[in-house]
Amino acid sequence: MNGRSRFDLRTLVVDAILLSLALVLSIAERWVPLELIVPVPGIKLGLANIVTLFALLCLRPWDALAILVVRCLVMGAIAGPMTLLFSLSGGLLAFLVMWLQKPLLNKVFSVIGISLAGAAAHNAGQVLVAGLVLSEPLLIVAYLPLLLLAGLLTGTLTGVAAAPVVRLGMEKGFWNRKLQNSGPGCARIAPRGKA
Amino acid sequence: MAAAGGESAAAAVRANRAAARTGWRQWLRWGDFLLYGVIAGSAVLLLLILARQGGAAAASAALTRDGEVLMTWSAAELAIGGAAEIDSNGYHYRLVWEKGRIRFAEAACPDKVCVQSGWISRPNQIAACVPGRLVLKISATKPGLTDPSEPDVVVR
């Protein structure tokens, strides 16, 4: 695995930083009263999806999944079990769809396209779970179109925000460079071109 | 010199703008446009199906929790107007109805999606609260059949 194990120190630190960022974005987006601008009940920007998208495209799927699941667990612990259920169902479905699209990046889909499908899958996952929890199929049919249309807007916004970061992450290749040990307990990143 | 500098700066701005335009075009792929079309198309199709099924029949409303009917309103009751308060799953709710429409006016639940749903009046419209496990639904009263809860004759 390019000279590093699944749980090496750098991966752990990078994942932890991205997890913190995802949590801050999740909390911050609760302060944005988006439903006042776009009158769709339950609409959210989905800013934390930028982090999932970056981790999925620039790191490994395993890192993206770990960041996603831990974020949902922490948000669930803060906001309650219903939030956990909704964010996990939507998040996992979005992750699955975006992971399936990953091999088609830059051939069929751009980062915006992947974000768009992720947002649609996230909304669909949440509304499916809500319909199942309340045993009300009409809920799915009534809310899904509104949330799909809202997802076009939010998915595009998060995709536009993620695209430059993803491009930079992929071009610079920082994340895939090998670690060089330069002393006991000390690790540094290999200079460019020597990786 | 200054004029030449100004011209080159303007040319740079133009070049940047042109690059930004082509950049955007290069950024999106054909699959993205397909996704926009498929998502928007399926959403509009679902909305049309819902609107068609709903029709323009007189509407009655029902509040349910886990399939159990807690309250019902006939079309006449919805038209008269009123308010009710209810507790469900540890949360307090206030419902308001008037002019044939009904809504969750206040809710003590965490996400307030039910309140954000606003007024509902047409058949197949729904407002739900997952934390409180409440579903407020509008149903069509079939034409030709009178609502059994409605009075047969109103004497004024």
d(CA B107, CA B117): 12
pLDDT of residue A127: 92
pLDDT tens figures, A86-120? 899 999 999 999 999 999 988 899 999 999 999 99
Are the C-beta atoms of residues B102 and B80 closer than 8 Å to each other? no
d(CA A4, CA A175): 12
pLDDT tens figures, A57-69? 988 899 999 999 9
> To the nearest whole number, what is the mean pLDDT of chain A?
84
Instruction: Indicate yes or no: CB of A145 within 8 angstroms of CB of B126.
Output: no
Could you tell me which residue, A182 or A31, shows the higher pLDDT?
A31
Pairing, β B91-98 against β B101-107: antiparallel
Confidence of residue B19 (pLDDT cuts 50, 70, 90): low
Comparing A15-24, A37-46, B8-17, the range with the smallest average pLDDT is B8-17
pLDDT of residue A108: 92
Chains A & B: contacts with CB separation below 8 Å: 104
Q: What is the mean pLDDT of residues A11-33?
A: 91
Q: Which residues of B touch A (CB under 8 A)?
A: 27-32, 35-36, 39-40, 42-44, 46-47, 49-50, 64, 66-67, 110-111, 113-114, 116-118, 124-128, 130-131, 133, 135, 137
Q: What is the mean pLDDT of residues B114-138?
A: 89
Length of chain B: 156
pLDDT tens figures, A146-169? 999 999 999 999 999 999 888 888
Instruction: Indicate yes or no: CB of B31 within 8 angstroms of CB of A113.
Output: yes
Residues of B in contact with A152 (CB under 8 A): 36, 39-40
- Look up residue B34 and give its two tokens: 């397909």
Residues of A in contact with B37 (CB under 8 A): none
pLDDT of residue B15: 60
Select from A134, A51, A154, A167 the least CA-distant residue to B128.
A134
Instruction: Tell which of B27, B42, B48, B88 to mutate to test the A interface (max A CBs under 10 Å).
Output: B27
Torsion angle in degrees (nearest 10) through CA of B114, A80, A130, B102: -10
SS3 content of chain B, % helix, strand, coil (to 5): 40, 30, 30
Could you tell me which residue, B8 or A15, shows the higher pLDDT?
A15
pLDDT of residue B145: 47
The residue whose two tokens read 């009409």 is A138
